Structure 1
Amino acid sequence: MAGQVPAAPEPTEPPALTDRLNAMDRLVQLGTGRIEPVLLDEAEVMLDRAGQRLRLSGEHTVITLAGGTGSGKSSLFNAICGLELSPTGVRRPMTSKAHACVWGLDGAGPLLDWLDVDKRHRYARASALDLERADSTLQGLVLLDLPDHDSIQALHRAEVDRFVTIADLLVWVVDPQKYADAALHRNYIVPFARHAGVTLIVLNQIDKLQPDEVADCVADLRRLLEAEGLVDPRIVTTSAISEEGVRGFRDVLVDTVAAHSARSERLTADVDKLAERFADQRGTTEPATTVDDARRAELIDALTDAAGAPAVAEAMESAYELRAADFVGWPVTALVTRLRSDPLRRMRLTELRDELRGAFTGPIGAQQGDVDTALQGVTDGVTGDLPESWARSVRGAARSHAPELPEALGISLKDALPTFNQVPRWWWLVKTWQYFLVLVSVLGVAWIGMLVAYGVFEVGDSPNDLVGEAGLIPYVAILVICTFGMGALTSSACRNMVALSSSRHGERMEQHMRERISQVADEKVLTPVAAELNVYARFRTDVESVLP
């Protein structure tokens, strides 16, 4: 239709904003349980608000008129709308609920529902206002008149607080008498100083000033705003008593709506504000990725001692020697030893082994106090340059499995214990040799007995000279003595060899247990620490992505 203004295309947000919001979401996930909950809660609220706003109409720009009692914001609202929509008067406060005027209804309904504007206070302008510049339009504007921020009614102040967190453009209407109001500056200007790009200060009622006083008032207001952190504040002057008095303000609204950028600029300012606080949770130096080798070795040594691995290795070394004695010892000596009351010799080695294995199936494998001592200082080398919250998180990761460590160490020692079913082959050879010597000795003694019986006492007819010649007794006795000597000598030599091999066996046992303990240390301590350091590294990367 001729003269109809074509609808503006649906604006799309810049990829940088979407990327920063995604990075902020990752920061919340990575920081949960690690950094201050207040910051995470605020970030979650902002992300939820941003997500909802981005899903709603991008053709509309939400602009709020907020101010104190008597600032004339409702009169300014009516002047822009061209209709008496918001009540004005001497009695304060006049506006108790937000009033909305919308230019362009298509897609505005869900947005107004999200803004929670009462349907009784929604107004629409179907066409552009009759402006001097024919090409100017407010199509897409959602203009809100808010209650007084300094109202004595708590609900009014809560309404203002809610809208200033979701508006695309914040317009603060002040008057020449109260533009330095402490409540406004303390509660809104200073907290939203980072939002200078989406904040507009309107000095209203300039008709009450002399022409030369207006510039002085604006200069003083600018000085005050800059002192409070509002960089290059935008200030316009208005007077709602005439159309000319609001023309400059209307032009700002027209330009803002036409740019279709207020929504993304507001969300960007929200992200910027939180990004600085997240940056405070990030260290300045590149973090380590894992515990260094020296501290890892110290941890394994401490856990090895806590688990009692050296004592177990020594016990197994003794058990090795005892078991070897059953194979390489002189059986005659062993028989004599068993005839004596020796409780140690009554112990069966298999029972000893079962008791050793059973000792490591529960928490008694390593005392919790010893484990806690071993864990002290393991993360000192990687937390020195971290922010305190992350240092605490890394230390917590190192102790995350502390209650499980005693049992895990006990199981690792239990699995490291060798079986006694297999013995060195040379033990069997020695045992066979020793029993051969015993057999020779027994036969020699029997031979001497027969020589004494037949050769000395002539108890009967000798079957042959080998058992009837008494002169053979000294030679047979020498044979028996030699076999006894050879058995004792063999036993002594083998004991020396066993002592050397048992020492090596103990060292191998301790090394084997140490390897098992190192696996436990890696799984229960060092891997969680490395994972936490990886989370911190990702956090730092995402902080870089979310910063402007």
Structure 2
Amino acid sequence: MTRTLAQRVRALDEAVELSRDRSSAEVVADATAVLKRAGERGAFAGDHTVVALAGATGSGKSTSFNAISGTQFAATGVRRPTTSTAMAVAWGTELPGELLDWLDVPRRHLVPARRSAFANLVLLDLPDHDSTEAAHRMTVDRLVPLVDMLIWVVDPQKYADAALHERYLRPLAPYAEVMLVVLNQSDRLRSDELAEAMADLRRLLDAEGLQQARLMSMSALQGDGVAELRRLLAEAVSDKAAVSARIAADVTVAAGRLGDELGATTPVLDRRRREPLVQALAEASGVVLAVDGVRDAWKLRGGLATGWPFVNWVARFKPDPLRALRLDQSNRRLAPTAISRTSLPTAGPVQRARLDRGLRELVDAASTGLPRGWAAAVNRAARGHEALLMDRLDTTIAGTDLELDRGTGWWSVVRALQWVLMAAVVAGGLWTLFMMFAPALGLGGLPTVYWWNWPAQFVLLAGGVVGGLVLAGLSSLGVTIGARGKARRVERILHQAVGRVTDAELIAPVEEELDRHRRAVAAVANAR
């Protein structure tokens, strides 16, 4: 086997593996059989070339066998109404037993020859292909795919027989290079009749795609053309190319059938199909509720951090939306080994319908132009993880960092200011009470301290209250604006997370299947 042919065989093997469970089981099985035969045929020691003579009853096939081989091993004439089993003749010092065992030819003969043009030739006499015995026809059908070279012996009366042309010659057109058609019994025709018969047979063969098949005439009884046929066989044995030519033809046929199953091109997945699918998954997984929860939680937490301490304690009784949805980052840090899950509601019928429509559109776009088996494989790839898709989305959302600890630095500053202002209120209030009850306690005559023409205690009390309320109001506005920005940021983060799940669970399997088809098409091209 040449290096190029070996590469073609490997390419066919790759195409078969890639096409398995996607292309027709029959086509894949036939290609697998070709690979098996190629491996087995190439494994035999020696350089034997197997040539088979095939023909119809009465064509003179066995007489031709004896004339070519120079033996009388094949029963002819009245002694054989039909050849019942295949017979082999080999030249040399020993029979190629393993090869004949593989061919399963029971009748074997050795022509001793140390130096012969037929050394390494194995010549088979096949049963008649038109035999009334089914076993005989089955033997022909079994051996025709195994031999390296075929010689079809026809006679002037039945060379156009439909059974021969429709069952064998036309289907074997790809093997024309390793086929020879011999018009036997030429001695029964005048020269003009022989020329006319040869021209007619050539026309029939060419019409059936057998332009490369060689055609010659012969009279096995009279010996006309026998020497030429022996010379052609000797050249085939000497060239040692028949085995490779037969395997190459097998590979070409198998690759062609696989190619027909694959189609010529692979669709390219339109990435614009991704965004509607991401949007549908985001809706189905509760991203909208999560974003709303972040907005509300940001307002609640920001209000608690920056509100007026005298009143914002009431807000502590409000439930935290993120904790209710189990999206609170700090809770997960307390149990890093726990599986992160949310409490987001499951997708409703509307969300699931949108998701199913998105998947159908993805599959339709990815399988346009693909054969049925490959389109089904694309659909399996897209929906292979559908049962676990929502769980994967939920855990992904639960494990996504919502960046809630970012953008809160100013809260600490405001909280510190609020505590300072609260301290001023407390100090001003206690100072005022002290000044009110000081005379009763016998502490009269204490001087009053003025700031900006106002009693200091009043400035502390009023300033602390007004300052705290104003600061709380301004902070509330800042928290509200920040909540909107944080919600938009979280929405982008969650969409990116959903997008990663979409790519991993839906897009990537489909693209892998398309890449598999693309590699199968390339492998078939290389095998051809």
Structure 1 residue matching 2:152: 3-state secondary structure: strand
Q: 1:203 to 1:520 in 2, by over 3 A?
A: same
Is 1:520 aligned to residue 514 of structure 2? no
Q: Secondary structure at the match of 2:399?
A: helix
* Deviation per residue, 1:290-338 (Å, 9 max, x gap): x455344444333333322232112111011111121222233335x57
Matched, 1:142 2:128: no
Aligned position for 1:313: 291
Deviation at 1:176, TM superposition (A): 2.2
Query: What are the superposed Cα offsets for residues 124-164 of structure 1, whole Å, 9 maximum, x if unpaired?
Result: 11128xxxxxx972222211111121223222111101110
Inter-partner Cα distance in structure 1 for 2:225 and 2:326: 99
| 8 Å Cα contact 1:21-1:546 kept in structure 2 | yes
- In structure 2, the residue corresponding to 1:331 is in which secondary structure? coil
Among residues 367, 392, 395, which one is paired with 1:408 in the alignment? 392
Q: Give 1:492 shift.
A: 1.3
| Distance in 1 of aligned mates of 2:104 and 2:343 | 63
Higher mean C-alpha deviation, range 251-260 or range 36-45: 251-260
1:223 aligns with 2:223: no
Q: Which residue of 2 aligns with 1:77?
A: 65
List aligned pairs for 1:426-445, cutoff 5 A.
426-442=410-426, 444-445=428-429
Whether 1:52 and 2:49 are equivalent positions in the alignment is no
Structure 1 residue 197: Cα displacement: 1.3
1:97-246 equivalent positions in 2, closer than 5 A: 97-106=85-94, 108-118=96-106, 121-127=107-113, 137-244=117-224, 246=226
Once the two structures are overlaid, the 10-residue window that deviates more, 446-455 or 202-211, is: 446-455
C-alpha contact 1:323 1:349 (8 A) present in aligned 2: no
Which stretch of the first structure deviates more once superposed, 318-327 or 242-251?
A: 242-251
1:35 and 2:23 equivalent?
yes
Matched, 1:375 2:359: yes
Q: For residue 81 of structure 1, what is the amino acid of its counterpart? A: S
In the TM superposition, what whole-angstrom CA distance separates every residue of 1:239-288 from its partner, at most 9, and x where no partner exists?
33234463343333233223322112211222222233334355556864
| 1:280/1:94 CA distance change after superposition, 3 Å | closer
1:466-500 residue CA offsets vs partner (Å, 9 max, x unmatched): 699xxx99996786455333322222111000001
CA distance, structure 2, for counterparts of residue 147 and residue 280 of structure 1 = 34
> How much has 1:428 moved relative to structure 2?
2.8
Matched, 1:486 2:467: yes
Q: Give the Å deviation of 1:77.
A: 1.7
Among 230, 236, 247, the residue aligned to 2:227: 247
Query: 1:52 and 1:221 mapped to 2: Cα distance?
Result: 35
What is the aligned length?
Answer: 513
Q: CA deviation at 1:365?
A: 7.5
Alpha carbons 2:48, 2:120 under 8 Å: kept: yes
8 A contact 1:364–1:407 mirrored in 2: no
- 1:277 and 2:257 equivalent? yes
Partner Cα separation in structure 1 for residue 299 and residue 103 of structure 2: 85
Task: Please tell me the residue identity of whatever aligns with 2:178.
Answer: V
Secondary structure, in 3 states, of the residue corresponding to 1:170? strand
Whether contact under 8 Å (1:451, 1:473) holds in the other structure is: no
> One-letter code of the match for 1:126?
P
Amino acid at match of 2:342: F
CA displacement at 1:414 relative to structure 2: 0.8
1:532 pairs with one of 478, 491, 513: 513
Q: Deviations over 1:218-245 (max 9, x none)?
A: 2222222222222144222233323446
Matches within 5 A, 1:397-476: 397-418=381-402, 424-442=408-426, 444-445=428-429, 460-465=440-445
Is the 1:412–1:516 Cα contact (8 Å) retained in structure 2? yes
Measured in 1, the distance between the counterparts of 2:343 and 2:10 equals 48
Amino acid at match of 1:111: L
Instruction: Quote the residue 2:50 is aligned against.
Output: 62
1:201 is paired with a residue whose SS is strand
Letter in 1 for 2:497: R
Q: Give SS of 1:138's match.
A: coil
Q: Give distance in 1, aligned partners of 2:267 and 2:407.
A: 51
Name the residue aligned to 1:7.
none
**Are the equivalent residues in 2 in contact too, given 1:361–1:407 (CA < 8 A)?**
no
Q: Deviation of residue 38 (structure 1)?
A: 2.2
For 2:104 and 2:124, the matched residues in 1 are separated by: 12
RMSD: 3.5
Q: Contact 2:286/2:345 (CA < 8 Å) preserved in 1?
A: no
1:87 aligned residue (75, 78, 99): 75
- C-alpha distance in 2, partners of 1:404/1:93? 70
Distance in 1, matches of 2:10 and 2:347, equals 48
Distance 2:345 2:37 in 1: 50
> Gaps (5+ residues) in structure 1?
1-12, 129-134, 339-343
User: 1: distance between equivalents of 2:391 and 2:39?
Assistant: 48
Q: Identical aligned pairs, as a percentage?
A: 36
For normalisation by structure 2, the TM-score amounts to 0.85
Q: Given that residues 429 and 461 in structure 2 are in contact (C-alpha distance below 8 angstroms), is that contact kept between their aligned partners in structure 1?
A: yes
Structure 2 stretches of 5 or more lacking a match? Answer: 330-339
Higher RCO structure (Cα 8 Å, ≥6 apart):
2
Q: Give the aligned partner of residue 335 of structure 2.
A: none
Give a deviation string over 1:376-400, Cα, whole Å, max 9, x none.
Answer: 4346666546566555544543444
Partners of 2:298 and 2:344 in 1: CA distance: 25
Worse-matched range after superposition: 526-535 or 190-199: 526-535
Change (3 A) 1:476 1:217: same
Task: Tell me the TM-score normalised to structure 1 length.
Answer: 0.82
Distance 1:449 1:473 in 2: 16
Counterparts in 2 of 1:372 and 1:58: CA distance versus 1, 3 Å: farther
Distance 1:98 1:285 in 2: 45
Q: Return the offset for 1:374.
A: 3.5
**Equivalent position amino acid for 2:198 in 1:** V
Counterparts of 2:345 and 2:212, CA distance in 1:
67
Deviation at 1:200, TM superposition (A): 1.4
| Matched-pair contact (CA < 8 Å) for 2:326–2:398 | no
How far residue 188 of structure 1 moved from its aligned partner, in angstroms, is 0.7
Q: What secondary structure is seen at the aligned counterpart in 1 of 2:284?
A: helix
Matched, 1:507 2:491: no
Indicate the SS of the match to 2:5. Answer: helix
SS in structure 1 of the partner of residue 311 of structure 2: helix
In structure 2, C-alpha distance between the alignment counterparts of 1:351 and 1:516, rounded to whole Å: 20
| 1:433-471 Cα distance to aligned partner (Å, 9 max, x none) | 33444444455555555666676xxxx444335699xxx
Please point out which of 346, 350, 354 is paired with 2:326.
354
Separation in 1, partners of 2:243, 2:343: 63
Say if 2:91 and 2:119, in contact at 8 Å, map to a contact too: yes
